[in-house]
Structure 1
């Protein structure tokens, strides 16, 4: 079942999904370096802050599933503001980390939106045939 594009529950689900995917990225990263859960919040907060900025600047509540503009903006703000906040708080922003963050958050934040588009198209075709 696809997320309803403009419903209140669809909006909440989109926001929760974005935040959950950012936290999954953080958990995967911390686990790959053998680090525990204790620093997850410290590592995740800059990217969650970037995600929030992205949602506000892109006015994502208008069309949270839209890949072009909404999804792309949310992704780029999540990475850019996240890295800026990491720099301000003295956390690392090595080039390889920036590249991995950009790629993984791009796949996560744009990927679910792409899947939602495909599901909506499939439902539309099913309804058109019926």
Structure 2
């Protein structure tokens, strides 16, 4: 006899999607804030938003392209596309709006955004595995 699989309630799924999207948003804002602070930039709030918006737009494109809402906590199905979208989209939009795009920044952004956007999903997957034991 096949075991019955229960689907999570729609409100649980919606809450997970909202929390994952909000976490991505917060982590991208943190990335921008850390970078601005490291370079002693002024305009803390507006400056962070101006730095973050290209990466946020790229992350949104990554969410859409991967349909990340289907499995928002998956490192592979959501994390990697959101990371790549935020990185590539962010750099393209920065270049199109005459913001700085230099190799050291690309390297730092690649690593930092990977750690943030893929990393928390990997950590959550590890916690879930440990709890199941």
TM-score, scaled relative to structure 2: 0.87
Q: Deviations over 1:24-73 (max 9, x none)?
A: 00000000000121311111100000010000001000001111132111
In structure 2, the residue corresponding to 1:29 is in which secondary structure?
helix
| 1:120 aligned residue (101, 109, 128) | 128
CA RMSD of aligned residues (A): 1.3
Q: Deviations over 1:55-109 (max 9, x none)?
A: 0001000001111132111101100000000001000100000000000000000
How many aligned positions are there? 121
| Aligned partners of 2:59 and 2:82 also within 8 Å | yes
1:43 correspondence with 2:51: yes
1:27 is aligned to 33
CA–CA distance in structure 2, aligned partners of residues 94 and 108 of structure 1: 21
TM-score, scaled relative to structure 1: 0.89
Structure number with the bigger relative contact order (C-alpha 8 A, sep ≥ 6) is 1
Give 1 or 2 for the bigger CA radius of gyration.
Answer: 2
After the TM superposition, which segments of 4 or more aligned residues of structure 1 sit over 4 Å from their partners?
none
In structure 2, the residue corresponding to 1:10 is in which secondary structure?
helix
Structure 1 stretches lacking a partner, 5+ long = 126-130
2:71 is aligned to 63
